[in-house]
Structure 1
């Protein structure tokens, strides 16, 4: 799926091609593109027609529908020449009331004409798929309608879609007075099966606003049961849509009683907010004792909910965490993180004991916990952990030393940036050298400008480019001869005109 910027660029190019006389219709040029392609097409046609009032393709229906003159747009709508539905939706949000009202009537009739053949009507009566089924037509228009909803008059299309999907009334049956309830049944009205299929297609769309819209409408209509709501919440990757499904599942359990299967589905989600909702639902389901199983969840939000539930049930989260971190066979990085969230400075020895744990993530989390509690770890210990085989441990050690980088031996740090060391050790040592500042940082950056590690090379070159060489010389941090040698090395790699010499 293309990005919004790419879609808009494609729409602008299609507009330019149309006005230059290309014969392909706009619907063919923009087929497969997102709604931003159509809005970009509309804006670009209007802009070009202001600059060139009579271009070669200015008489095309698509161009007249986007014309800057409202009278031209009105005349194009009055022609009833089967215009692109996407442009009709855009004109339904037009700033001219007469154009807006006419576009809404034309859109209703254009959609209502699908299907147009008797055999297609018969297939639809049997709930069989039809090539130009109105439900499919409306489904394709939803993303564009949602994009236009932010405009001053853009909410109409979304309101009609919500009403049609909820069964309150049919846009198709009331095409002659859109926005008002239908008083007669139309053979082109959406059936319940069509509404359900349309919601399914919208819920599976790759467009996030479309999925959010589908979830909101489905929940308002009571389309799904508790377990299906939980399943959709657990499978949804968009946090906003997942929240809609989750809240609906919790509300359904609050109204209809707990459902153990639905709770288990929520607890098995990859989304932390959904799992947190599942943990809170354990209390209503009478399963508060299971809160201890989620104290070591990978998400802090879930751990916090588990601690709350455990306290509500009379348990002590601190005791559970203490039992986890003192058992070297059961402790995990997330158990250590949870222990840090309830621990105090007096618990420092428990975290120190984990600095030699065989699992690197456990060592790193224990080190982060000590720093978070404000407990000091000796420089020698942290310097040794720079060489840890785990990259996360090396990063945490560098963070612990960053505040005292000035008192570290720059030569020892520079030695750890050599090519014989692992990349994470080299990056940690380089970070500390940059934290020292002064000539030590400059020497390290000049030495690593051509480093094969792209991260180190990029940081080194950007630092050298911004370095104030005369300021370093004036402060007496390095001899003139040394600075000259460093500058000569830098000039071999970088454009000397870009160096900040003054």
Structure 2
């Protein structure tokens, strides 16, 4: 019934629906406006840049780019698309650069913060005979370049091969946190994350760097010294350092993971306490673990508020701890 009413709406009524809080209503209203050619390219571009819904963004950006050139040229439509905050809208603008005969303008978008936009830019550059990988290498060869953008670093990993690790490793010491973080992500994507080289980053002052480092080191968690990781879960350490160390300890498993999780149950950060409670509740003794370990019983007693009496007795029985 609502759809039938919308189909009968006048242009003035559709304008009101463009700001409706219901995204389904907005999608349908914009689709009717596009089908009826009720909006000029400039209005479509504005809608694509303004609306938060991906369907509306794609619909309006595509309609603006496929509108007859007599109404409005690419020169007036492309700049708002290329400067839009939404990656989907920017990617539509970048893709249209080739049709507009402006392929060269796609190069700066090779280092865009969005992977989608970077991929579209690489496609446009390749179609004009360019080499995106060479473009990235040129920018990443100076490890201390203050103008190096994080997008160029991860872009090199996205279109390169394992040989690019030689350019990415020096960037782990770059002064910009964004560059360091993307260098870690790039090495992980290339399967070149070296445990020894990345361990110092577990104390990095930037949360984004440590987050990427912990993710890269998760498959090698058992190779890391558990006692050093446990030290980093202290409440005296920055929260992001504590979180990163705990992620790795959780992946490490064993009694050391349980020790870290129980210790964090008293942390002042409620989110961290809630997160720590989960591995405590799912912990089980390893088949090759020492039975009757007094520390296991102590840790279970410290976390007894997470279990019923029956479950707590059961958990103590499994590793052979007296209840």
Fold shared by both chains (TM-score > 0.5): yes
Match of 2:174 among 357, 362, 382: 357
Q: Partner of 1:485 in structure 2?
A: 298
Q: Deviations over 1:14-70 (max 9, x none)?
A: xxxxxxxxxxxxxxxxxxxxxxxxxxxxxxxxxxxxxxxxxxxxxxxxxxxxxxxxx
Post-superposition offset of 1:493: 6.6
CA contact (8 A) 2:111 2:155 kept: yes
Change (3 A) 1:303 1:238: same
CA contact (8 A) 2:91 2:116 kept: yes
Q: How does 1:35-46 map to 2 (within 5 A)?
A: none
1:188-245 C-alpha deviation (Å, 9 max, x unpaired):
xxxxxxx222111011211111111111111111112222222222222111112221
Match of 1:409 among 203, 207, 225: 225
State the partner residue of 1:234. Answer: 49
Note if contact 2:103-2:128 (Cα within 8 Å) is conserved in structure 1: yes
Could you tell me which of 282, 304, 317 is aligned with 2:132? 317
Looking at CA atoms only, which structure, 1 or 2, has the larger radius of gyration? 1
User: What are the ranges of 5 or more consecutive residues in structure 1 without an aligned counterpart?
Assistant: 1-88, 90-144, 147-157, 166-194
Does 1:458 pair with 2:271? no
Q: Distance in 2 between matches of 1:287 and 1:253?
A: 18
Alignment of 1:280-319 (within 5 A): 280-319=95-134
Question: How far did residue 396 of structure 1 move?
Answer: 2.0
Q: Which residue of 2 aligns with 1:279?
A: 94
Structure-1 residue corresponding to 2:85: 270
* Counterparts of 1:315 and 1:408, CA distance in 2: 43
Question: TM-score normalised to the size of structure 1?
Answer: 0.59
Contact kept, 8 Å, 1:282 with 1:290, in 2: the verdict is: yes
Secondary structure of the structure 2 residue equivalent to 1:404: helix
Deviations 1:104-158 (A, max 9, x none): xxxxxxxxxxxxxxxxxxxxxxxxxxxxxxxxxxxxxxxxx14xxxxxxxxxxx2
- Post-superposition offset of 1:253: 4.5
Question: What is the number of equivalent residue pairs in this alignment?
Answer: 313
Task: Please report the RMSD computed on the Cα atoms of aligned residues, expressed in angstroms.
Answer: 2.1
5+ unaligned residues in a row in structure 2: which ranges? 319-323
The whole-number CA distance in structure 2 between the counterparts of 1:438 and 1:299 is 39
Counterpart Cα distance in 2 of 1:464 and 1:341: 38
- Asked if 1:204 is matched to 2:27, the reply is no
Contact 2:133 2:156 (C-alpha < 8 Å) held by counterparts: yes
Alignment of 1:125-136 (within 5 A): none
Q: 1:390 maps to which residue?
A: 206
Contact 2:262–2:280 at 8 Å: present in 1 too?
A: yes
Name the CA shift for 1:494/1:264 in 2 (closer, same or farther; >3 Å). Answer: same
- After superposition, the C-alpha distances for 1:354-394 in whole angstroms (9 at most, x for unaligned) are 01000111101101111111114143x32211000011211
The answer as to 2:59 corresponding to 1:244 is yes
Rounded Cα–Cα distance in structure 2 between residues aligned with 1:360 and 1:478: 45
1:261 paired to 2:76: yes
1:271 CA displacement = 1.5
Contact 2:259 2:299 in 1 (8 A): yes
Q: Against the structure 1 CA distance between its residues 370 and 236, is the aligned structure 2 distance closer, same or farther, given a 3 Å change threshold? A: same
Q: Quick one: distance in 1 between partners of 2:44 and 2:306?
A: 59
Give the alignment partner of residue 348 of structure 1, picking from 165, 188, 195.
165
Distance 2:292 2:70 in 1: 78
Give the secondary structure class of the aligned counterpart of 1:418. Answer: coil
How big is the shift at 1:477?
Answer: 3.4
Match in the other structure for 2:321? none
Distance 2:85 2:202 in 1: 33
**1:494 shift after superposition:** 5.2
Residues 1:428 and 2:244 aligned together: yes
In 1, the alpha carbon distance for the partners of 2:279 and 2:202 equals 23
User: C-alpha separation between the residues in 2 aligned to 1:409 and 1:291?
Assistant: 46
The Cα of 1:495 is off from its aligned counterpart by: 4.5
* Aligned-partner SS, 2:267: coil
Q: CA offset at residue 482 of structure 1?
A: 2.1
SS at match of 1:264: helix
* Counterpart-to-counterpart distance in 2, 1:416 and 1:226: 55
| 8 Å CA contact 1:298, 1:334 repeated in 2 | yes
